[in-house]
Structure 1
Amino acid sequence: MTPDELSDRLLDFAARIGKVVDSLPDSRLGRHVGGQMIRCGTSPGPNYEESRAAESKADFVHKLKIVLKELRETRYWLRLVVKTGLLPSTKMNELIDEATQLCNIFGQSIVTCKGIKKSENRDPPNQL
């Protein structure tokens, strides 16, 4: 996958998150989860774009770690939406899977950039 393709994938992910947030019920929980999800679910794309202009390898890895952190948080909120019944799992499973795939992509990218072999790393970044 090219950097541009990955950027497009993150843009699509953010757009889908926006649609999910807009479909959440107007309840106390729905508003809270929606606010959290719109923040973390739309930030991986811009953070990835920043990483593409990193000033050093360390800066690049740091920005990728932010992308991964935000994706993990988004996945948590998506799972909570299902767990609490805010939206049916049939609507959410594909997006949860996409979040997981993106976590794996960025986790592996971080491992590769740092030059760490998985067998030597006790807690790899992409561990779910």
Structure 2
Amino acid sequence: MQDLKSRTKRFAIDCWKFCKNIPKSREYDAWARQLIRCSSSVGASYRASQRAKSTADFINKLKIVEEEADESIYWLELFQEVPDTGRKEIKNLKHEAN
């Protein structure tokens, strides 16, 4: 199994690449920005969890990772509902977020 630090970083990069290929419009832009933010936060929060000051702090930081991954799934689901988006790519990203 690939190290979670690497996987969460790869997830953020893959979401960024997905958003890069989304049609340029005001409507898509808001969703793409949100997806980039939360998918990047998955990795950043996971990294922060590795420097937790206590077990409780570690658990709290991992809960943030879980919340950000779930938010990423939400934005991917929205993209899945509209035409002109990469459905296979969305499925793979959702799988990784889960």
TM-score by structure 2 length? 0.92
Q: What CA distance in whole angstroms lies between the structure 2 residues aligned with 1:59 and 1:86?
A: 41
Counterpart AA for 1:96: K
Identity percentage of aligned residues: 37
SS in 1 for 2:51: coil
Q: Equivalent residue for 1:35? A: 33
Amino acid at match of 2:90: M
- Which structure 2 residues correspond to residues 83-98 of structure 1 after superposition, within 5 A? 83-98=81-96
The size of the alignment, in residue pairs, is: 98
Task: Give the SS at the match of 1:64.
Answer: helix
Structure-to-structure mapping, 1:74-89, within 5 angstroms? 74-89=72-87
| Root mean square deviation, CA, Å | 1.3
Write out per-residue CA displacement over residues 18-75 of structure 1, whole angstroms, 9 at most, x where no aligned residue: 1011111111221010110110011111111111110011111110011000000001
Aligned partners of 2:19 and 2:86: how far apart in 1? Answer: 13
Kept in 2: contact 1:47–1:66 (CA 8 A):
yes
Q: 2:46 aligns with which of 40, 48, 66?
A: 48
Larger Rg over CA atoms:
1
Rate the CA distance shift 1:96–1:32 in 2: closer, same or farther, 3 A: same
Matching residue's letter, 1:85: P
Greater relative CO (CA pairs within 8 A, separation 6+): 2
**Other structure's SS at 2:6 match:** helix
CA distance in 2, matches of 1:96, 1:31: 19
**Equivalent residue for 1:25, pick from 4, 7, 23:** 23
Deviation of 1:90 after TM superposition, in Å, equals: 2.1
1:62 maps onto 2:45 in alignment: no
